[in-house]
Amino acid sequence: MNQYRMPVVWSPTTRDHDPRNEVWVGVATTGTEVAARVDAILAAVTGAGHPVTEAATHPDDVLVRVHEPSMLTFLAEAAERWRQGPYADLVGQTRVVPYLFTTPAMTAGLPTRKAVAIHAEAGNYVYDTMTLVGPGTWEAARAAVDCALTATDLVLAGERAAYALCRPPGHHATPAGFGGSCYLNNAAVAAEALRAGGHDRVAVIDIDAHQGNGTAAIFYDRADVLYGSVHVDPGAGWFPHVVGYADETGARAGAGATRNVPLPEGTGDAPWLEAVGGLADWVVAEGCSGLVVSLGVDAAADDPESPLLVTADAYRAAGTVLGGVGLPAVVVQEGGYHLPTLGGLVAAYLDGHGG
Ligand code: SP5
Ligand code: ZN
């Protein structure tokens, strides 16, 4: 049991995103990435004695290094544009949902124009039907970025570690796309902010149950930000399905700077911790000076979104392993959807990580 309690940064605005329904295989299902997640985590970390502070507003300078301005503009304006459309009256839909995807399967090399209708334009940016935009979504996602930036500020000012209670999560958000319940890539923003703060080489270690295809994409070509992830095998039919295989190790200047460790369905503590340990050793061997942890706790046994069987004790041990690397660390919340155990899993990781 560590005595040190790292600071927690949160924002009440992160509660303002309500996806309402995630459309999965064409069916409107009840979303699992809900505002109650924030309160569950907040209660647990407060109870564990962490000092809690609200995020400070930050400018967009770091964010625009991570995401295309066109996607940021789309997200900022989408809810209001949708509200002005006939969708609520026609079909009762109050959330932005694409009805087609303007990918190469459709455009097939033809010259293309910007879609006039937002229900068509949405498919330029959102790559699934589960990541809906409503009133408050942009504000919440942007507040989550402020949580990540404020936690990074604390670390740059000398704090050994800080936890950003980001919600919605971010690691599936790509440079110009959003999906997987993610809109803005909070962890990538933290990594860029550490770089801007003087860290020449930074690692993002992602222990969410799903591979963070967004973070992987943002840094795939780069040597200055390593990305390592342990996750359920996409080859077994799990999100993000088409990336996250072990042979994806980076390209060009980033060759060798990406590591993916896929694990079979049903994997429990020992092999999962061995994978986390391998990533920690890699970060040390590569001479990084700063660390971002993408802390998803959806690898836990009770979680509805993954088939991994990791316990709270193993999350505490993972914290000890990653804290033991000895680098200043920004811990960023990603997934984790089982409300009764969510807070305890996060608190266990933070306890293990210590300072
Ligand atoms: C950040 C994060 O953990 N994102 C998770 C993305 C994976 N979501 C896949 C969802 C598959 C459908 N689940 C059925 C639940 C019905 N609501
Ligand atoms: Zn996840």
Extract the tokens encoding 121. Answer: 């334009």
- The predicted pLDDT at position 248 comes to 99
The CB of 33 under 6 Å from ligand 1? The reply is no
Residue of 53 and 4 predicted with greater confidence: 53
- Using the mean position of ligand 2's atoms as its centre, give its distance from the Cα of residue 296 in Å: 6
268-297 confidence digits (pLDDT tens): 999 999 999 999 999 999 999 999 999 999
Q: Give yes or no: 172 in active site.
A: yes
Measured by CA distance, the residue closest to atom 6 of ligand 1 is: 180
**CA gyration radius for the chain?**
19
Contact 329, 155 (CB under 8 A): yes
The CB of 169 under 6 Å from ligand 1? The reply is yes
Average pLDDT over residues 129-138: 98
- The predicted pLDDT at position 3 comes to 82
- Using the mean position of ligand 2's atoms as its centre, give its distance from the Cα of residue 78 in Å: 25
Q: Which atom of ligand 1 is nearest to the CA of 182?
A: 1
- The predicted pLDDT at position 326 comes to 97
Measured by CA distance, the residue closest to atom 3 of ligand 1 is: 335
Contact 298, 335 (CB under 8 A): yes
Query: What pLDDT band is residue 69 in, cutting at 50, 70 and 90?
Result: very high
pTM beyond 0.95: the answer is: yes
- The predicted pLDDT at position 1 comes to 54
Residue 149 has pLDDT above 90, yes or no: yes
240-261 confidence digits (pLDDT tens): 999 999 999 999 999 999 999 9
The CB of 214 under 6 Å from ligand 1? The reply is no
Cα separations (Å) of 86 from 19, 82, 83, 94? Answer: 19, 8, 8, 10
The CB of 334 under 6 Å from ligand 1? The reply is yes
- The predicted pLDDT at position 24 comes to 95
In the beta sheet, which residues pair with residue 329?
161, 291
The CB of 182 under 6 Å from ligand 1? The reply is yes
Residue 139, amino acid: E
- The predicted pLDDT at position 2 comes to 59
Q: Which of 172, 199, 338, 353 is catalytic?
A: 172
Query: What pLDDT band is residue 139 in, cutting at 50, 70 and 90?
Result: very high
Measured by CA distance, the residue closest to atom 11 of ligand 1 is: 305
Pocket probe for ligand 1: among 181, 184, 333, the residue whose CB has the most ligand atoms within 8 Å is 181
Contact 268, 296 (CB under 8 A): no
Give backbone dihedrals phi and psi of 36, rounded to 5 degrees, phi first: -60, -20
Write out 306-329 in H/E/C secondary structure. CCCCECHHHHHHHHHHHHCCCCCE
Residue 224, amino acid: D
- Using the mean position of ligand 2's atoms as its centre, give its distance from the Cα of residue 337 in Å: 9
Q: If you search the block for the tokens 């932005």, which residue do you land on? A: 96
DSSP state of 129: S
Give backbone dihedrals phi and psi of 194, rounded to 5 degrees, phi first: -65, -40
Cα separations (Å) of 335 from 30, 111, 209? Answer: 16, 38, 8
- Distance of alpha carbon 89 from alpha carbon 92, whole angstroms: 6
Helix axes 137-156, 186-196, angle to 10 degrees: 30
- Distance of alpha carbon 56 from alpha carbon 328, whole angstroms: 20
| SS3 of residue 65 by DSSP | helix
- Distance of alpha carbon 37 from alpha carbon 48, whole angstroms: 17
- Distance of alpha carbon 264 from alpha carbon 8, whole angstroms: 33
